[in-house]
Chain A
């Protein structure tokens, strides 16, 4: 029973609030139709700006951002590829250097072997030539010595025959020739 006056009192407060709001609105020029007109106007402006002003710009900004991001990503990728290529190039260069060094070493080693072999062969050939030359010289010497002995024997016999005035026998000639040969050999 007691809440009926309370409701009445509340209803009075609500009425007072509504009246106060209405008077405040009137004071500041509030008008429901104009208010709704302005809502529609603002909504139209917002819609048109979104469609014609923001969307194209935001789209191109997004595209540009994506393009820049892609460009940076590509630059990074190219940089990485360049670094990899550089590394590969260095590796190949190092490998080539190592192989070249190995080849040079091998060439040096084989050259040394060839040199030794050729030197040995040259020494051996030189020794052979010397030996042959010595043998030839010895033969020549022997031959010359034989010729000399014969010539000396012949001269001794001729000289002896002329000096003595007699004809020498074959034995005399043989003996004189042998004596002259011994003398020459000595």
Chain B
């Protein structure tokens, strides 16, 4: 279908224009709620705009659609070349879906510098979308790195007591990983003479060079995902970030790493992907089992969920590197599902944190008595995180475990054990917070208000729908994955 309307540029630019407009207003004269509301409407408009993508996306055709092309740096053949395929559309939707929720959940909790807050979130949104739509490695890198700036400011300005440390760690860790990828990208540009991902995919690199280039890309994406030895920035960043920061971090930013593997590493370096398969499986297995055990012993709710993120992203990397259709589908599904579920879990923590200003598990008990609606939603998301059939968490994990059997039974055992430990800590968390005696100081806790109920409801509908009818997502990504990843 010929679609001459520049929808992707519009998707990238809408939040930026919104941010610029907001920044031109005089903040003293406008009510803070008005600014949040304006940001909310901009992001909802963006969400509606992004809904056009799956509607007009032609599933019968392969390759990228809605392509836009402008020359950028002519002598290097670096171009503004954007488009979407089945792999990017769900992630774009996830982003545009979560940003309004981020703004909603900070309705009462963000009190200072509201205007800046909204502006950074809008900029963040457009940078993230930029990553998902780029078909040129240089603009991919530009957007991939730009994401750091607003996220750094969000953690640093509105974070907890240790926010400076966390934001620096986040920024420098990610940057250190990315610069190696920059070198690899430049090397590819020089060898292939173009930045076009499609052309690079068909270029045969020498095997030894592939290994080096793969490791350079790996350094960047493994930090972002995060994989086992590179994950230490994540708990800090999550614990210190404001609720909305955690939501977008767990919901979308971690997916940039997975998306990078899927879009660049695996298609570019076919030999190296197979060569490093055992290495990545080992790291992922360690991530799944080790971080699950670490999560069991956490006393801080956010930290526990952060560690569970590392474990769940372990499933993603295993799934992607099985290099089979089922495995990659599963890994991808797990990415989307984790984006919804972990975002929801951080929102769940945010709800009680906003009321009691404590993240410690020991401070809460018996919330099921005072906050019944809250614990009902908590239950749903907890079970989705554990991977209960019927929720989205199940489909991804199941597909991944299924595909590992063909590779090695030990791998299957490890991942399956990870699922069990995962169930252990999530159930423990749920039990400690919701059951038992009600503390005296918790008797006054108010149950969910209208805003909170509305966004939890929307997320739970998504979780259940994806769990019951996974084909909704899979039929969109299936063809693209077989074409652009596995071919």
Please say whether chains A and B are actual partners in one complex. no
Q: Which residues of A are interface residues toward B (Cβ below 8 A)? A: none
